[in-house]
Structure 1
């Protein structure tokens, strides 16, 4: 037996003021989406904003349902909308912000596993990485230059 080591590298920004202007504006779009989330059960609001290579900004937020598996996360709402309406556009970057209604959320909140797998599909499809910025309601922002930093052992169509 032998072991392998898998490492991820993320950039850390102390707050929004350190972000480049285009990323800052994209995160503000994610905030706007977050505030419109439909989360009556979890009280956990998530917003995502995607910048496409054609300049379009696509927003998504979590949409809950009393039948829990029927809901959808913000990241997948945005990425599927982009794929359905701009199928040939390249996703340049995604900004994500999460806010709990019952406590302060200052730690960067990464995408869930299902969202990571959905995002991986688009990164593979477009043959280039997606820059992913994520944070809580305020404070520190993490940046991953590729989904592979967040999901290093990708499951792709190569296995099918």
Structure 2
């Protein structure tokens, strides 16, 4: 028998105001996307903004559906849109923010498992890390230098 230890390290900022200017601007675009989320069932609004290598910013917000599995998270809306609009252009940074209409969200909200897998696909394809910055509505902001920090044993095409 053998044990494997996997650790994750995050950089923590006290608030969005403490972020580097370019990341704060990206996070503000994620906030704008969050405000346009369609979340009548969960009342949990998420926005994502991606900075691409060509300088373009692509946004996404969660889009719910009465048939729950038919909805899509903000991160996947943004990443799939980037892949469709700018194929082959690397994603440098992703900013994510979440808020609830039912209670304050003051803790950083990371991508769900399905979104982590989708982000992983793009990170593996482009062979460079994607910075992932995430927060709640207010409060601390976490930085993960790579998706591999959030999903260290990512499933990739090499297994197929």
TM-score surpassing 0.5? yes
Query: Could you say which residue in structure 2 is the equivalent of 1:78?
Result: 78
Q: Over aligned residues, Cα RMSD in angstroms? A: 0.4
Alignment of 1:22-37 (within 5 A): 22-37=22-37
**Structure 1 residues without counterparts, runs of 5 or longer:** none
Give TM-score scaled by structure 2 length.
0.99
Match status 1:90 vs 2:90: yes
What do residues 27-60 of structure 1 show as CA deviations (whole Å, max 9, x unaligned)? 0000000000000000000000000011100000
Query: Could you say which residue in structure 2 is the equivalent of 1:67?
Result: 67
1:95, distance to aligned residue in structure 2 (A): 0.1
- The count of aligned residue pairs is 160
Match status 1:21 vs 2:9: no
Alignment of 1:34-49 (within 5 A): 34-49=34-49
1:17, distance to aligned residue in structure 2 (A): 1.6
Tell me the secondary structure at the aligned position of residue 111 of structure 1: coil
Give TM-score scaled by structure 1 length.
0.99
1:94, distance to aligned residue in structure 2 (A): 0.2
**Structure 2 residues without counterparts, runs of 5 or longer:** none
1:18, distance to aligned residue in structure 2 (A): 1.3
Q: Distance in 2 between matches of 1:17 and 1:106?
A: 15
Q: Distance in 1 between matches of 2:2 and 2:119?
A: 31
Tell me the secondary structure at the aligned position of residue 110 of structure 2: coil
